[in-house]
Amino acid sequence: MGNASSMLTQYDIEEVQEHCNNLFSQQEIVSLYQRFCQLDRNAKGFISADEFLSVPEFAMNPLSQRLLKMVEGLNFKDFVAFLSAFSAKASPPQKIELIFRVYDSDCNGKVAFNDMIQVLQDLSGSFMSDQQREEVLTQLLREAGYTKESTFLLSDFIKIFDHADPKMEVEVPVD
């Protein structure tokens, strides 16, 4: 065992840890590295979209296409940084920031009505009509004191979530 992990030196691990704000333990990083190498089948140094989709549980996810844009082609450091929002140690704002980034598909730091509709569309597919989606969203926006034209910054998202802790925890298997 451990061919892959032995390639990570203490320095490498510390560097990765720093990059993800120490949200993962050293052992977790070793595990994640093994997983990274397993998914990166021909050792390119990144995981392609196709390789991510070869995991059926991921391919079945309604948000997989959207997430792919965020994770495909990441090197190991950024891969870990992406996953760090799912660490048990991540703070609510860190988690909300990731959620915000999923909505903000053009990465301009702002989320508009349209962005929200698109995510809603991914999540509900053909089981809600366009009209239903717009109605639901408009109504909820209005109740929360916003309008269709409002744009949201990360700080607005944090306010909307009202410091509630989104349940986003993934355990990294450590052997």
Partner 1 sequence: MSTLRPSTSELDLDRPNIEDYLPSGSIPEPHGKLRLRDLLDISPTLTEAAGAIVDDSFTRCFKSIPPEPWNWNIYLFPLWCMGVLVRYLILFPLRVIVLTLGWLIFLSCYIPVHVLLKGNDKLRKKLERVLVELICSFFVASWTGVVKYHGPRPSIRPKQVFVANHTSMIDFIILEQMTAFAVIMQKHPGWVGLLQSTILESVGCIWFNRSEAKDREIVARKLREHVEGADNNPLLIFPEGTCVNNHYTVMFKKGAFELGATVCPVAIKYNKIFVDAFWNSRKQSFTMHLLQLMTSWAVVCDVWYLEPQNLRPGETPIEFAERVRDIISVRAGLKKVPWDGYLKYSRPSPKHRERKQQGFAESMLRRLEER
Residue ranges binding partner 1 (CB under 8 A): 1, 3, 32, 35, 38-39, 52-64, 67, 71, 83, 86, 95, 98-99, 102-103, 116, 119-120, 123-128, 132, 136-137, 139-141, 143-144, 146, 157, 160-162, 164, 166-173
Residues 58, 135, 152, 105: is their CA dihedral positive or negative? Answer: positive
**Among 173, 2, 172, 154, which residue's Cα sits nearest to residue 93?**
154
Q: Write down the least CB distance from residue 16 to partner 1, Å.
A: 15
- Closest CB to partner 1 among residues 11, 126: 126
CB closer to partner 1, 13 vs 80? 80
How far is C-alpha 21 from the chain's CA centre? 16
Q: What's the closest the beta carbon of residue 170 comes to partner 1, in angstroms?
A: 5
Nearer to partner 1, 46 or 103 (CB): 103
3-class secondary-structure state, position 128: coil
Q: Which is nearer to partner 1, 13 or 85 (CB)?
A: 85
Distance in angstroms (rounded) separating the CA atoms of residues 83 and 24: 9
Q: Which is nearer to partner 1, 57 or 106 (CB)?
A: 57
Least Å distance, CB 101 to partner 1, is 10
The one-letter amino acid code at 121 reads Q
CB of 9 to partner 1, least distance (A): 20
Angstrom distances, CA of residue 33 to CA of 11, 15, 67, 122, 166 = 14, 13, 20, 30, 26
In this structure, how many other beta carbons lie within 10 angstroms of the beta carbon of residue 35? 16
The distance of closest approach from Cβ of residue 73 to partner 1 in the complex, given in angstroms and rounded to an integer, is: 14
Q: How far apart are CA 84 and CA 91, in angstroms?
A: 10
